[in-house]
Amino acid sequence: MKIKITILTITLLCCVTWCIAQKNVVIVGAARTKVYIPQLKNKRVALFSNNSGRVNGKHTLDVLLENKISVVAIFSPEHGFRGNADAGEHVSSSVDPKTGVPILSLFDGKGGKPSAVSMNKFDVLIVDIQDVGLRFYTYYISMVKLMDDCAEYHKQMMILDRPNPNGFYVDGPILDMKYKSGVGWLPIPIVYGMTLGELAKMVNGEHWLPKSRTCELIVIQCLNYTHNTKYQLPIAPSPNLPNMKSVYLYSSLCYFEATPVSVGRGTSLPFQIYGHPDLKGYSYSFVPHSTSGAKNPPQLNKICYGVNLSKLENKDIWQKGIDLSYIIDAYKNLKKGDEFFSPFFEKLIGNGCIRKMIEEGKNSNQIKSTWQKDIEKFKIQRKPYLLYK
């Protein structure tokens, strides 16, 4: 009898534990088919997605087709629909070989604006793509441009929301719109702490589309997600962000893209290391090679000396947020003066003062203090658009 009671007790405890765990599991918008599939019946659907648009081992495209939804076109972002192209590489339009659905590339070198013929093919545009929550990461820019296209052609956009892996903090200067570019499109901080669904609501609410247009918007929210959730990405969002360490360090290391310093493209540790052949005083070294997703990386086939950040504790990275000490360190070490930064730096950082402060010898904390008031204003500004606690 005691054995039976013990087994029953253990079984009940396991069931309770499982139920609690299920309540804490984040359910992405794409997994909530019972909510959105009925809204798509008898409609022509286009899909903006890439390899990150997956749920329960299936691509969202396949989920839609299995549910008899008429998918007439796919819009693909930077890196292409399969997510293996270089940063900024032109990707031709094509056809998905598995399903036969036409793929219309937004990075085909022709401005990325769909034609009127393409826009008139569908009634609803579904957005299902994994963002990383940083202003210079281009997926949100493609989404905002598509919002404007949908507004212009009176099409509905449905966002299958996904968590922001950097959604637990806000940091960096607000974009000075004179530096608006393909790596910075909205007057938001570098780390904006919002999901794509929340950001799209803000774009509408703040009238950030041209001519103050608004896009008819439906957001299928995530479940069990808050802005304190440290969400682990199940799939790498792009070739050079292969793991969570790179996703967390990206906000501090991306500025090296506007310098001669390698940030590890063409190695096994992109955005987790930095180095240059002429950096002095470092024992760590690496050699960038031509690889898929980094065909011609900076300092190709050269021995670079520098710093390996891949062993940092995540909690230390989270605590510091944007850390400009790395680029300040390399700037001082290389002694290249004005030749260290290219004009691309201002587009990435979104501000015309940061370079000057680095050249004047300001440290990372001094520079960070200059944008704190703007951060607090932005947090108030974004509050009406937040969908998650």
Structure confidence by residue, pLDDT tens digits, 34-58? 999 999 999 999 999 999 999 989 9
Phi and psi at residue 250, in whole multiples of 5°? Answer: -55, -40
> What are the beta bridge partners of residue 370?
none
197, 29 contact by CB (below 8 A): yes
Residues 151 and 50 in one domain: yes
User: Is residue 18 a part of any domain in this protein?
Assistant: no
What is the rounded distance in angstroms from the CA atom of residue 204 to the CA atom of residue 367?
Answer: 32
Residues 251 and 108 in one domain: no
Cα angle 371, 145, 254 (rounded to 5 degrees) comes to: 40
Tell me what the mean pLDDT of segment 258-277 comes to.
98
Between 122 and 104, the higher pLDDT residue: 122
User: Is residue 382 a part of any domain in this protein?
Assistant: no
DSSP-derived 3-state class of residue 123 = coil
- The pLDDT, as a whole number, for residue 104 is 81
- The pLDDT, as a whole number, for residue 80 is 56
- The pLDDT, as a whole number, for residue 251 is 98
What is the rounded distance in angstroms from the CA atom of residue 180 to the CA atom of residue 178?
Answer: 6
Residues 73 and 197 in one domain: yes
Is 27's pLDDT higher than 50?
Answer: yes
Tell me what the mean pLDDT of segment 379-388 comes to.
98
Residues 94 and 128 in one domain: yes
Structure tokens at 120: 């008139």
The tally of domains found in the chain comes to 2
CATH of the domain at 256: 3.90.1150
- Model confidence, pTM: 0.90
Residues 307 and 367 in one domain: yes
Is 292's pLDDT higher than 90?
Answer: no
Last residue of a domain, one of 210, 232, 254: 232
Residues 260 and 190 in one domain: no
Residues 206 and 293 in one domain: no
Between 94 and 250, the higher pLDDT residue: 250
Element housing 374 (H / E): helix 372-382
User: Is residue 38 a part of any domain in this protein?
Assistant: yes
Q: Scanning the structure block, which residue is given the tokens 């969400």?
A: 231
Between 135 and 293, the higher pLDDT residue: 135
User: Is residue 12 a part of any domain in this protein?
Assistant: no
Residues 172 and 255 in one domain: no
Share of the chain above pLDDT 70, in %: 88
What is the rounded distance in angstroms from the CA atom of residue 178 to the CA atom of residue 53?
Answer: 33
CA torsion sign for 151, 53, 252, 79 is negative
User: Is residue 316 a part of any domain in this protein?
Assistant: yes
What is the rounded distance in angstroms from the CA atom of residue 226 to the CA atom of residue 325?
Answer: 30
- The pLDDT, as a whole number, for residue 222 is 98
Between 293 and 284, the higher pLDDT residue: 284
User: Is residue 1 a part of any domain in this protein?
Assistant: no
**pLDDT mean across residues, the chain:** 91
> What are the beta bridge partners of residue 307?
274
Strand order in the sheet with 94-95: 94-95, 102-105, 70-76, 44-49, 124-128, 156-160, 216-220
User: Is residue 237 a part of any domain in this protein?
Assistant: no
CATH of the domain at 205: 3.40.50.12170
User: Is residue 20 a part of any domain in this protein?
Assistant: no
Confidence category of residue 77, pLDDT binned at 50, 70, 90: confident
| Structure confidence by residue, pLDDT tens digits, 337-372 | 989 999 999 999 999 999 999 999 999 999 999 999
What is the rounded distance in angstroms from the CA atom of residue 389 to the CA atom of residue 234?
Answer: 22
Residues 141 and 248 in one domain: no
Task: Render 56-93 in DSSP notation, one character per residue.
Answer: TTEEHHHHHHHTT-EEEEEEE-TTTTTT-SPTT-----
Q: How many Cα atoms sit within 13 Å of 10 on the Cβ side?
A: 6
Q: Is 30 exposed, middle or buried (0-12, 13-18, 19+ CB in 10 A)?
A: buried
Q: Is 359 exposed, middle or buried (0-12, 13-18, 19+ CB in 10 A)?
A: middle
Residues 198 and 273 in one domain: no
What is the rounded distance in angstroms from the CA atom of residue 264 to the CA atom of residue 272?
Answer: 7
Share of the chain above pLDDT 90, in %: 81
Confidence category of residue 84, pLDDT binned at 50, 70, 90: very low
Residues 195 and 281 in one domain: no
Is 21's pLDDT higher than 60?
Answer: no
| Structure confidence by residue, pLDDT tens digits, 307-346 | 999 999 999 999 999 999 999 999 999 999 989 999 999 9
- The pLDDT, as a whole number, for residue 11 is 44
Residues 50 and 192 in one domain: yes
Confidence category of residue 88, pLDDT binned at 50, 70, 90: very low
- What is the extent of the structural domain holding 291? 244-372
Last residue of a domain, one of 171, 206, 232: 232
- The pLDDT, as a whole number, for residue 5 is 54
Last residue of a domain, one of 185, 210, 232: 232
Confidence category of residue 99, pLDDT binned at 50, 70, 90: confident
- The pLDDT, as a whole number, for residue 93 is 60
Confidence category of residue 112, pLDDT binned at 50, 70, 90: low
- The pLDDT, as a whole number, for residue 341 is 98
